[in-house]
Structures are given as C-alpha cells and as structure tokens.
C-alpha cells in the first residue's frame, strides 16, 4: 500500500494485494497484471486493467480510504509504544544478531550488513521504532526461527528504506517515506509507505 504510487521494474512476483491512495491508479507504473496474484486496488479507472479473473482491478475509494487510515493508525501505534526493552542496540548496526521478542528503539537509522535472525514462538512480537533510515545490505537475509512469524515483526521507520540486491526481508514495514526493493530482493510480509514503493524484478509474499 502506498499513498504516492508504486513503480515497478519487470519482472516482479507479488503474491497478495496491492493498492494506491489518494494518488490515482495511473501511479501504478510498469506493473503487469500477470506479475500479481491478488487484487489491485485503485481509486479510479486509470490503473492497470486485468482481463483474467485471478487478478482483478477494483476501483473503490471507500476501501482504500479506510486502508490508508488503518496504515496511519498502525504507524502511530507502533511509534507511540513506551518502555522499550532495548535502546540504541548496536548503535544502529544490528547485523549478525539474534533478537528475542520485545520493543526496540533507535534515535538514528539502522544498518544491517549481515544476516539478522528473529527467534521466538508463533505468538512472539517484535516492534522496531527507527528514527531514521533502514538499509538492508545486498545479499543479507532476515531470518526467523522457532516459529517466529513475519506478521508479528513490525518496523516503524521515519526515513527511507532500502532493501539491497538479493536481500531477503521479513516483517510488516510501516514507512513514513519511501520503500525501495532492489533487484532480486524478496519480502515475506507487507509494505506500507506514506510516499512511494519501488520494486525491481522480484518482491513480495
């Protein structure tokens, strides 16, 4: 979900739904319907029109308006959590670590240049509060173990997010600005941007 548009460099693979609002459907650029298994939500008829029933395009402002509101609520909720378990862990360099469930807070950006692991049960929750950018290095993987689930890992990020080439990301990304998924990077989770999302030749489940 994006407020300002989704730009794609084919071929990407998206398993799930995508949408833009309040920007028009014309802000979905270079995106082929065959790349998406799910529904494309736009506020008008300017977006891609899919003829196959497996990838319908739906013009529905009320649903999108609610989704944008929900995105804002989720971002504010994550940002407003207090009493963090960890503050300034690794001075923002957190690659190579195994993280247990909890609330993590940084006053600057995050740099992840080696594999990062989330270790916990299927009910465990992680919340990251990041007052800066997030850079996931090329070829770096974010992993889960012992039942940890991507849907329970929340990244609240005030700055831009870049997922490097051939990297792998896990979690729900709540970005205040842009999210860039570079060539052959993959995502298991959800991407929510208050500006734009850029995809390059692979993506999301």
pLDDT digit string, tens, across residues 37-90: 888 888 876 666 665 556 667 777 788 889 999 999 999 999 999 999 999 999
Sequence-ordered list of residues with C-beta below 8 angstroms from that of 80, at least 6 positions apart, any chain: none
Start-end of H helices in the chain: 61-79
Cβ pair 179, 173 in contact under 8 A: yes
Q: Are 203 and 187 within 8 A, CB to CB?
A: yes
The neighbour count for residue 71, using CB atoms within 10 Å, is 20
Say whether pLDDT at 149 is over 80.
yes
- pLDDT per position as a tens digit, 164-203: 999 999 999 999 999 999 999 999 999 999 999 999 876 6
The 3-state DSSP class for residue 199 equals: strand
Contact 168, 189 (CB under 8 A): no
Distance CA 80, CA 35 (A): 36
- The CA distance from 179 to 95, in Å, is 20
pLDDT digits (tens, 9 = 90+) for 92-132: 999 999 999 999 999 999 999 999 999 999 999 999 999 99
pLDDT grade for 35, boundaries at 50, 70 and 90: confident
């Amino acid at each position: 979900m994006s407020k300002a548009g989704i730009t794609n460099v084919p071929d990407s693979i998206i398993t799930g739904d995508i949408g833009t609002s309040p920007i028009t459907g014309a802000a979905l650029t270079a995106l082929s319907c065959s790349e998406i298994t799910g529904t494309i939500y736009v506020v008008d008829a300017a977006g891609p029109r899919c003829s196959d029933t497996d990838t319908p395009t739906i013009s529905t402002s009320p649903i999108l308006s609610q989704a944008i509101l929900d995105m804002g609520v989720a971002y504010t909720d994550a940002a407003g959590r207090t009493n963090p378990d960890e503050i300034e862990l690794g001075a923002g360099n957190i690659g190579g670590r195994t993280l247990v469930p909890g609330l993590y807070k940084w006053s600057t950006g995050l740099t992840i240049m080696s594999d990062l692991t989330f270790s916990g049960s299927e009910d465990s929750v992680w919340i990251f509060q990041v007052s800066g950018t997030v850079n996931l290095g090329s070829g770096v993987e974010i992993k889960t173990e012992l039942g940890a689930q991507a849907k329970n890992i929340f990244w609240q990020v005030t700055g831009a997010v870049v997922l490097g080439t051939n990297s792998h990301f896990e979690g729900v990304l709540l970005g205040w600005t842009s999210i860039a998924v570079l060539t052959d990077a993959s995502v298991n989770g959800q991407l929510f941007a208050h500006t734009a999302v850029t995809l390059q030749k692979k993506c999301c489940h």
